[in-house]
Structure 1
Amino acid sequence: MENSVVCLTGPREVLLAPGESQRVDVGQIRVRTRYSGISAGTELTLYRGSNPRLTKVWDNEHRLFVDRSVGPAYPVSGFGYEEVGEVVEVAPDVVLRRPGDLVWGMWGHRTEAVLAADAVTPLPPGLNPLAGVFARPGAIALTAVLAGDLHVGEWVGVFGQGVIGLLATRLAALSGARVVAVDQQPHRLSFALRYGARLTVDGRTASAAEVLRGVTDGLGADVCLELSGAYPALHEAIRATAPAGRVVAAGFYQGDAVGLALGEEFHHNRVQVVPAQVSGPSPLPYSAGRWTAARLARTFMDLVAEQAVDPLPLVSHVVDAAAAGDALALLDRGDPDALQVVLRFDP
């Protein structure tokens, strides 16, 4: 495949465009992409046109979104943050990386990228390269688990069993929590049991709040992690949580909060709702800078290398990069069998 990049030219409009050719400068490397995973959360908001960054600009100094002075920010080129590739060229001054190294990082859905040498991380020896696409999703899941401040023996509800939710289920179980996994797809709930959930709840037919209060003698969950990004699920997570308990809102919520009634259990049970976001200067503010985004991703990949977490069963589709539009449409339709969809680039 020639140098190319996946672009969005408008809502649900995908184009594989020619990529810009760059030379390798001081401190840089060239990486040829092997695999690039598609995020079924953030990337679908770009694909659908609902992401706030399409109509607003993030003012980092004032920490505010402000309206754009012009229309939506299309085209969006080279989005994506789950990449694995091979180093094919290094600047003369670079000793940290060598041609032939397999690395993971974030450089978008493109055939190749020129990056700072320290912007990528070597894949652990012997690990299937596909595992590298889970570094960032794993970091997001770990952020939610750490924000929950889980303890051994606590009951924890994990709402949303997509890729990040399933990884959070596994990490919460490793932390010693007794996990109740909630979703509306039986296929995903079966994965949750494999990943250590004690119980599962099909949200179409049962109330997660009633189940969690039932297994805790009426108390409710100590902590709930909400990873679906759906306001009704956030409301149910609040309902499921014990008085003065904690709900970690880690989903990417879109639009107005339809289905979230803050005058009910949230108000009467004084439930604490905390955000979890892996981006920014301090993903976990209370950690005094110990848990950086880089450490979160590396820790997750260490767990994969140690075989404490096996994300590979979550890869449901591997498709050629030329079919990126079809891959995004598959996720957009909500195909129940689609979990981690991966774009494959020619070696």
Structure 2
Amino acid sequence: MPKELIAVAPRQPELREYEDPPLKPGQVRIKSLLSAEKHGTTLPIYRGTSPVSEKVYDSKLGLFFPKKEATRGWTAKFPMPLGNMTVGIITEVGEGVENLKVGDRVFGHLPIRETHTVDAQAVHPAPPGISDEALVCVDPAMVALMGVREGNVRLGDKVAVFGAGAIGLMAVQMAKLSGAVFVAVVEPVSIRRELALHYGADLAIDPTREDPGVCIRKATGDKGVDVAIETSGAYPALHQAIRATAYGGTIVPVSFYSGEAKGLHLGEEWHFNRQVMVSGARVESEPYRDHPRWNRKRVEEVVLELFRSGKLTVEGILKPVVPIEQAVEAYRLIDEHPEESIKLGVTY
């Protein structure tokens, strides 16, 4: 029987067997080739520390409520599927499906699972010339693109990226593509700093050994950067992003923050330096500020074109990559030893 990776409770991953359901009209069945996880969003939910672990988000009101007070909305529940994006091959097509056929390579927001039976509109045809590895990184690339655009990074700007996971590594490349003349990266994990430098970062700072705010200001003539993009989800990193940003500059937090804001001190530099903090890098939160010219479809199309043209690379981002039989151990690794990983990939 096919297997899927799930969490049965906080920090308890399991491989579970399942049976494929009957194929309904309008659906397709997919055999997975490669899947990847979205560390920054899913790991806090997996750990039980995310805002949606304790509360419910009411999308109609745009507010969080304690679970006992909520009557509707999004909240974390176990067992929960693990994984964010999957590339696969269509093996069956249901009645009424016209745009897809058996043998087509497709991708979509699908969990770590050997097969998928989904509505045809849940997946997209994989463009020729774009690798499976790039396609499972479409999600972080879209978030990075939103962050760079929300920060209004322009030719000649100086930029700092906090966190060099998949989103941060994409943001480094996109900031350079946007014309940034200087890009600094702040990241405690050495393999991520090295990859950021390989991708074109001008400076890589280990925040456990150096003061990022001081280092970045010294590297920019004591002024600070024009734009800071915070991708790590750590409150101390957001505080350092504020410290590293010039007077009147822009800070873009793209992360899904969890827990109390320890290490974030808004009474310090934030109070004095008249900066702008921009929310809006969540891809699902539509309409966008530049609607109707930009929407989720256009963001995805731009990302795919950047991959196709070779202007954006994912070389080295998928680490570790394991067969599904080793997915439980690999998931524990990315949770307990983040210094050994960047973005989990699973093969079948």
One of 224, 239, 251 as aligned partner of 1:235: 239
User: Is 1:193 equivalent to 2:192 in the alignment?
Assistant: no
SS in 1 for 2:306: helix
8 Å CA contact 1:135, 1:298 repeated in 2 = no
What is the distance in 2 between the residues matched to 1:335 and 1:218?
Answer: 32
- 1:20 Cα deviation after fit: 5.0
Query: Deviation above 6 Å: which 4+ runs of structure 1?
Result: none
Aligned to 2:12: 13
Alpha-carbon offset, residue 335 of structure 1: 4.0
Q: 2:169 matched to 1:166?
A: yes
Q: Distance in 2 between matches of 1:73 and 1:266?
A: 33
Are the structure 2 counterparts of residues 14 and 337 from structure 1 closer, same or farther at C-alpha, using a change threshold of 3 Å? Answer: closer
State the partner residue of 2:259.
Answer: 255
Question: What corresponds to 1:61 in structure 2?
Answer: 60
Corresponding residue for 2:114? 111
Q: 1:156: Cα distance to partner?
A: 0.4
SS of 2:148 mapped into structure 1:
helix
Partner of residue 72, structure 2: none
Aligned to 2:315: 312
TM score, norm. by length of structure 2: 0.92
2:29 pairs with 1:26:
no
Counterpart Cα distance in 2 of 1:73 and 1:254: 13
Please state how far the C-alpha of 1:100 moved relative to its aligned partner. 0.8
CA contact (8 A) 1:162 1:339 kept: yes
Letter matched to residue 122 of structure 2: A
The whole-number CA distance in structure 2 between the counterparts of 1:259 and 1:227 is: 16
Q: Is the 8 A contact 1:19 1:110 kept in 2?
A: no
The CA distance in 2 between the partners of 1:251 and 1:163, in whole Å, is 12
Specify whether residues 235 and 281 from structure 1 end up closer, same or farther in structure 2 by C-alpha distance, changes over 3 A only.
closer
RMSD: 2.0
Structure 2: segments with no counterpart, 5+ residues:
70-74
Q: What is the match of residue 213 of structure 1?
A: 217
Residues 278 and 293 in structure 1, CA contact (< 8 A), matched pair in contact too = no
Segment drifting more, 288-297 vs 160-169: 288-297
Count residues with an aligned counterpart.
Answer: 343
- Taking only the aligned residue pairs, the percentage that are identical comes to 35
- Compare 161-170 and 87-96 and name the one that shifted more: 87-96
Contact map agreement 2:37 2:82 (CA 8 A) in 1: no
Cα separation, 2, equivalents of 1:188 and 1:281 = 29
Whole-angstrom CA distance in 2 between matches of 1:343 and 1:107: 12
Partner of 2:336: 333
Distance 1:80 1:295 in 2: 24
Q: Does the 8 Å contact 2:150/2:281 carry over to 1?
A: no
Please give the per-residue CA displacement for 1:253-275, whole angstroms capped at 9, x wherever unaligned: 11010000000111111221112
What's the TM-score, normalizing by structure 1?
Answer: 0.92
User: What code does the residue aligned with 2:347 have?
Assistant: R
Is 1:29–1:89's contact at 8 Å kept on the other side of the alignment?
A: yes
Counterpart amino acid of residue 165 in structure 2: G
The residue number in structure 2 matching 1:128 is 131
Q: Tell me how far apart the structure 2 counterparts of residues 294 and 69 of structure 1 sit (CA, whole Å).
A: 36
Q: Cα offset for 1:40?
A: 1.8
CA distance in 2, matches of 1:269, 1:240: 11
Tell me if structure 1 keeps the 8 A contact 2:146–2:283: no
Matching of residues 258-337 of structure 1 within 5 Å? 258-282=262-286, 285-337=288-340
Return the alpha-carbon distance in structure 2 between the equivalents of residues 182 and 151 of structure 1: 21
Q: Report the CA distance between 1:213 and its aligned residue.
A: 1.9
Equivalent residue in structure 2 for 1:150, among 150, 153, 157: 153
SS at match of 1:256: coil
- Give the distance between the partners of 1:148 and 1:53, measured in 2 at CA: 27
Stretch of structure 1 that moved more, 164-173 or 50-59: 50-59
Q: Name the CA distance, whole Å, in 1 between partners of 2:60 and 2:52.
A: 16
Q: What do residues 323-342 of structure 1 show as CA deviations (whole Å, max 9, x unaligned)?
A: 32211111112342311211
1:295 & 1:31 partners in 2: Cα distance? 25
CA distance in 2, matches of 1:207, 1:155: 18
Question: Mind listing any 5+ residue stretches in structure 1 that lack a counterpart?
Answer: none
Deviation per CA, 1:272-307: give whole Å up to 9, x if none: 111233343426x31113332333233212211111
Deviations 1:54-109 (A, max 9, x none): 23222111111222239x85423323222111111112322211111111111212
Shift of 1:197: 1.1
Aligned amino acid, residue 284 of structure 2: G
Q: Is the 8 A contact 1:139 1:278 kept in 2?
A: no
Spell out the pairing of 1:71-82 with structure 2 (5 A cutoff).
Answer: 73-82=76-85
1:137–1:53 Cα change, 3 Å: same
User: 1:137-193 CA distances to partner (integer Å, 9 max, x unpaired)?
Assistant: 111111111111100110000011112111111111111112111111232112111
Contact kept in structure 1, 2:227 and 2:245, CA below 8 Å: yes
On the 8 A contact 2:142/2:283 being kept in 1, the answer is no
